[in-house]
Amino acid sequence: MPGSTSKIENANLMLAALDASFCGIIVVDVDGQIVSVNEAAKRIFGQKEKDLLGCHIENVSRGMYLTKVLKTGVCVTGQRMYIGERCYISNHLPITYNGAIEGAVAVLQDITELQETTKELQSTRQVMKLLETVLDSDYECIVGVDTEAKITMLNQAYCKFLGVKQEEALGRNVQDVIENTRLHIVLQTGHPEIGQIQRINGHNAVCSRIPIKIDGKLVAAIGKVMFQDVSELRSLIKKVGQLQSELEYYKEEIKSYHETSYSLQDIAGNSCSMRDLKKLTLRVAKNNSTVLIRGESGTGKELIAHALHSSSPRSCGPFVKVNCAAMPEELLESELFGYQDGAFTGARKGGKLGKFELANKGTIFLDEIGDMPMNMQVKLLRVLQEKEVERLGGNRTIKIDVRIVAATNRNLEKMVQEHLFREDLFYRLNVVSLNIPPLRERPEDIPLLADAVMKKLIRRLNCCRKALDVSAIDCLTTYHWPGNVRELENVLERILNIVEDEIITEDHVAPYLPKHDMVRVSKDVRPLKEVVEQLEKDMILKALEKTKGNCITASNLLQVSKSTFYEKMSRYGIYKKFN
């Protein structure tokens, strides 16, 4: 077909002219076989001319539309296609001669960079739109000036604040539009001014002025009104303060729930019985056995429970207290085990977690366990045996990991004999028993206890610092203390509230102690001389501590002569510490 050959030869001539083009050009014959490619096309496909010529176009690239053009004779243009990692726009045209299709040509234009530029442009437009939205905020007043202090931008909020129209302000010197402005000064100094008070339109506004630098060169400045009046800032500070107070409150709530109030260091007492109790508490704390704390009312059973928890591997977990004598049986059951939504009339919507669930991974302290009703004792026994609970109104069991510490001031052995306390529960609880001696059996602890209680009460009551003299301490140590440490705290708090003198004497203490109980009863009997000497030593040390080592003032405080005071300091080995 001479005509066909002539047409293709003409196409080759055209290709020679377009060989320098950046567009890839491919020519195929009527059978779809490649008959010519330019240099750009060879680069696009990454092949030599000899490898491309004679190949069917579909074997080179399936994204081309040349086969379709050969069949239909219709141009296919503006098609996006990917070859490798590059993006191209392709145009496919038929080659006709005397009305017959004799081939087709494809032109590929690389638009990868253009596409990236388009994406960047779209992104820039989005950023600009976002900036416009921010700058036109109804809440923040923003102004921009050039290096000549002329306004280049003034948002609607600032226009409203100033009472001017935007078109009237643009291009004018900032000093002519905004009173008391310092933007022109910031342009001169290049230093920002943050949080400055500026009188604008009758308001004490809080403003900031920031110089804009590009490559170290000052090109503009931005002014911003953060608060249109100082009163707004005060209101915000007040609100922040309120929120901070609420936050602190909730933090303390969480802290109190997950931390114990006392540790072994808070247990005052150096008597043999108390030293032994502390050692045993520390040893027992290391394992997970159930503990029964026993002692008279007011001896500090809860304090020991706290100390036990804080010294245990569970110290990071919650410490949950339940007073078994403080609520009726029905309420106690829902408190301990929780309940499902709708379990009973008045139940909280959504249900409630029980104390055992809340104490998971921690310790639950069952105070006054001897007052727990028999029906509840059965359910508690099941928890101890199965390590699981079931909420009221629920139908599934919940596994728990809780250490149980119980406390009582009652004789559980006698209650077991009288069938008032379950024997099996007693043995489950009484794995380890911690017995707290009553205060009357350890009078030597009273000086230390009284001092600790006084310090605690002075902090809590926020009252003037006061001290007990020797006669007051002696009076306290000779009292029977049927109410134990709780009664001691009560007596000292009453004295602190009523007595005005800084030094509390026997005359102040005696009226609050029943005379028929002023008898010392002690199982740990010690020689009277030893007790008196220990008391003297303690009081001398306290007097020196109060007077910051001033021996003369300390001797006056104790109402003894200086010579007697120095002699006793020497006898008890105190002299070396303060001289």
Output the domain CATH number for residue 107. 3.30.450.20
Is 249 inside any structural domain?
no
Q: Do 262 and 216 share a domain, yes or no?
A: no
Element (H, E) at 24: strand 24-29
Q: Do 551 and 500 share a domain, yes or no?
A: no
Q: Do 196 and 148 share a domain, yes or no?
A: yes
Is 578 inside any structural domain?
no
Res. 526 pLDDT band, cuts 50 70 90: low
Q: Do 47 and 143 share a domain, yes or no?
A: no
CATH of the domain at 398: 3.40.50.300
List the one residue out of 432, 92, 483, 472 whose CA is nearest residue 293: 432
Is-contact 533 527, C-beta < 8 A?
Answer: no
- 124 vs 575: CA distance, rounded Å: 82
pLDDT at 527: 66
Res. 363 pLDDT band, cuts 50 70 90: very high
The arithmetic mean of pLDDT across residues 50-72, rounded, is 86
Surface-to-core class of residue 62, CB atoms within 10 Å of its CB (0-12 exposed, 13-18 middle, 19+ buried): exposed
The arithmetic mean of pLDDT across residues 552-557, rounded, is 85
Q: Do 147 and 43 share a domain, yes or no?
A: no
Is 128 inside any structural domain?
no
In three-state secondary structure terms, 348 is coil
Res. 515 pLDDT band, cuts 50 70 90: low
Where is average pLDDT lowest: 6-15, 158-167, 302-311, 355-364? 6-15
Q: What is the CA 470 to chain-centroid distance, rounded?
A: 49
Res. 392 pLDDT band, cuts 50 70 90: confident
Res. 421 pLDDT band, cuts 50 70 90: very high
pLDDT at 564: 80
Q: Do 52 and 100 share a domain, yes or no?
A: yes
Q: Do 406 and 304 share a domain, yes or no?
A: yes
The arithmetic mean of pLDDT across residues 343-372, rounded, is 82
- Sequence-distant (6+) residues with CB within 8 A of 45 are 24, 37, 52, 60, 61, 83
Domain count, the chain: 5
- CB-side neighbour CA atoms (13 Å) of 425: 23
- Taking the whole predicted model, whether its pTM rises above 0.85 is answered as no
Residue 51 scores a pLDDT above 50: yes
φ, ψ of residue 346 to 5 degrees: the values are: 90, 0
Q: Do 409 and 292 share a domain, yes or no?
A: yes
Single-letter residue type at 89 = I
- Sequence-distant (6+) residues with CB within 8 A of 186 are 192, 193, 209, 210, 211, 221
- 229 vs 206: CA distance, rounded Å: 7
Is 239 inside any structural domain?
no
Is-contact 231 238, C-beta < 8 A?
Answer: no
Q: Do 537 and 394 share a domain, yes or no?
A: no
Q: Do 63 and 203 share a domain, yes or no?
A: no
- 119 vs 123: CA distance, rounded Å: 6
* Angle ∠(224,228,230) on CA atoms, nearest 5: 115
CATH of the domain at 465: 1.10.8.60
Is-contact 435 466, C-beta < 8 A?
Answer: no
The residue among 435, 460, 491 that closes a domain is: 435
Is 120 inside any structural domain?
no
Domain span at 337: 258-435
CATH of the domain at 541: 1.10.10
- Sequence-distant (6+) residues with CB within 8 A of 548 are none
The arithmetic mean of pLDDT across residues 233-244, rounded, is 76
Is 94 inside any structural domain?
yes
Res. 517 pLDDT band, cuts 50 70 90: low
pLDDT at 135: 64
* Paired tokens of 421: 């306390």
Is 127 inside any structural domain?
no
Is-contact 143 154, C-beta < 8 A?
Answer: yes
Where is average pLDDT lowest: 6-20, 92-106, 268-282? 6-20
Is 273 inside any structural domain?
yes
Q: pLDDT tens across 179-231, in order?
A: 999 999 999 999 999 988 899 888 888 899 999 888 889 999 989 888 888 78
Q: Do 312 and 199 share a domain, yes or no?
A: no
- Sequence-distant (6+) residues with CB within 8 A of 140 are 155, 157, 224, 225, 226
Where is average pLDDT lowest: 100-109, 273-282, 544-553? 544-553
Q: Do 144 and 225 share a domain, yes or no?
A: yes
